[in-house]
Amino acid sequence: MGPIRGFKRRKKAEKKVDQNILAAAAASAAAGASASASMGIQPHPVDWWDEFSKRITGPLSQSGDSKKFESVFKISRKTFNYICSLVKEDMMARHSNFTDINGKPLSMNDQVAVALRRLSSGESLSNIGDYFGMNQSTVSQITWRFVEAMEERGLHHLRWPSTESEMEDIKSKFEKIRGLPNCCGAIDITHIVMTLPTMDPSNDVWFDREKNYSMILQAIVDPEMRFLDVIAGWPGSLSDAVVLRSSGFSKLAEEGRRLNGKKIELFKGTELREYIVGDAGFPLQPWLLTPYQGKVLSDLQAEFNKRHSATRLVAQMALARLKEMWRIIHGVMWMPDKNRLPRIVLACCLLHNIVIDMEDETLDEIPLFHHHDSGYRQQSCNYVDKTASAMRDKLSPYLSGKLPP
């Protein structure tokens, strides 16, 4: 599978959590799963977690917090129940005989728990199997089925704003950060590092400039660190600028089908179009403003760069949080399936957004970082669009309150 672009299968749905699904999740938590029972899977007890946590083996069971749900899955029970209801139809559509090592059938909640633990901990299949008392092949199959279900049922949690009111809310929140007006998003790129056989010449394309084998994830986020657009799957050997140019978002922006909304007047005769912000690794485009480069900057340019940096920080923090919460893509992945990895990354991005949309209280306990690409140096792109350069030069004095007479 190539890079994930555009999500053509995305259903028309609201970004916020569907209240009908949420209600179903609550009902599911309180009652047995009749659909599971009809397929030969035992219904879970009223307090499923009390029963399931008793089956956890290994070091996890020896922890003082072994029965605390949030310590195992990094999300609340409310969010967990919603996710179960979201993927239930797809995960249960195919008959399966998933059992633990004692032959006990795994309920719907059991399966989601296993998949979430695998994605959130990043631990090996054998460790997860030991923790939950099941074969590692079972862990692998359940996780992949969950990823497929998330692709099918969760895409409405990751989409570009479809209404003017949604976009105006985003612009307003971005402007409150450090005053950048009409800003619609912040873009950044991170590397998912892999261990691949060095003797295989076909792996050379994944060898990046920092001498790692890696896969790229490009993301555009809103002020609340929610992903609005992602692309995963490009080799790490490609520059940030090349990945952007090859992305569906870039094509849509160039064709006027993205960032083509309401313009604002900076001062008489000068309008500012919609745009996103990115670091110096991206090209300066009319729809993508990057910082001024050079060792000697004017006061206006330096002030612009400060405000620009503070604004795009949300993208850095979003990617750092993604890797912190869903640690399967954190650190170095051992011999991953490069065709499946982009889909696993997408599932993690969807889960990241769901936690935000659910206003999950566990987010308050997660420290915020902005370093998501340890060991990677800032890239530099020298491409400058003349129209974009003129627009940036007009925005800079506006931000400092130095308007032309």
What is the per-residue pLDDT across 140-154, written as a single tens digit (0 to 9) for each?
999 999 999 999 999
Instruction: Give the span between the Cα atoms of 112 and 145, in whole angstroms.
Output: 10
Please check whether residues 128 and 177 belong to one and the same domain: no
Q: Please, which pLDDT band fits residue 23 given cuts at 50, 70 and 90?
A: low
Please check whether residues 140 and 171 belong to one and the same domain: no
Please check whether residues 234 and 349 belong to one and the same domain: yes
Q: Is residue 1 part of a domain?
A: no
Please check whether residues 43 and 57 belong to one and the same domain: yes
pLDDT for 87 equals 96
Which residues, at least 6 apart from 399, have a Cβ–Cβ distance to it below 8 Å? 179, 180, 303, 304, 307
Q: What is the arithmetic mean of pLDDT over 259-284? A: 95
Q: Is residue 68 part of a domain?
A: yes
Q: Is residue 284 part of a domain?
A: yes
Is the pLDDT score of 37 beyond 80? no
Q: Please, which pLDDT band fits residue 369 given cuts at 50, 70 and 90?
A: confident
Q: Is residue 2 part of a domain?
A: no
pLDDT digit string, tens, across residues 103-146? 989 999 999 999 999 999 999 999 999 988 999 999 999 999 99
Please check whether residues 40 and 140 belong to one and the same domain: yes
Please check whether residues 120 and 168 belong to one and the same domain: no
pLDDT for 265 equals 94
195: left (phi over 0), alpha (psi -120 to 50) or beta: beta
Please check whether residues 273 and 242 belong to one and the same domain: yes
Q: Is residue 11 part of a domain?
A: no
Lowest mean pLDDT among 19-23, 113-117, 272-276, 330-334: 19-23
Among 107, 135, 153, the domain-final residue is 153
pLDDT for 68 equals 79
Q: Is residue 6 part of a domain?
A: no
Letter string b/e over residues 320-342, b meaning 16 or more CB atoms within 10 A of that residue's CB: bbbbbbbbbbbeebeebebeebb
**Coil, strand or helix: which one is 117?**
helix
pLDDT for 32 equals 40
Q: Is residue 333 part of a domain?
A: yes
Q: Is residue 14 part of a domain?
A: no
Please check whether residues 148 and 201 belong to one and the same domain: no
Mean pLDDT of all residues belonging to the chain: 87
Please check whether residues 34 and 61 belong to one and the same domain: yes
Q: Please, which pLDDT band fits residue 246 given cuts at 50, 70 and 90?
A: very high
Domain count within the chain: 2
Please check whether residues 288 and 395 belong to one and the same domain: yes
Instruction: State pTM to two decimals.
Output: 0.88
Please check whether residues 71 and 164 belong to one and the same domain: no
CB atoms within 10 A of CB 200: 8
Please check whether residues 73 and 211 belong to one and the same domain: no
pLDDT for 144 equals 96
Which one has a higher pLDDT value, 60 or 376?
Answer: 376
Q: Please, which pLDDT band fits residue 12 given cuts at 50, 70 and 90?
A: very low
Range of the domain at 190: 158-399
Among 108, 123, 153, the domain-final residue is 153
Among 137, 153, 169, the domain-final residue is 153
**Residue 234 and residue 241 in contact, taking contact as beta carbons nearer than 8 Å:** no
305 CB-side CA count, 13 A:
14
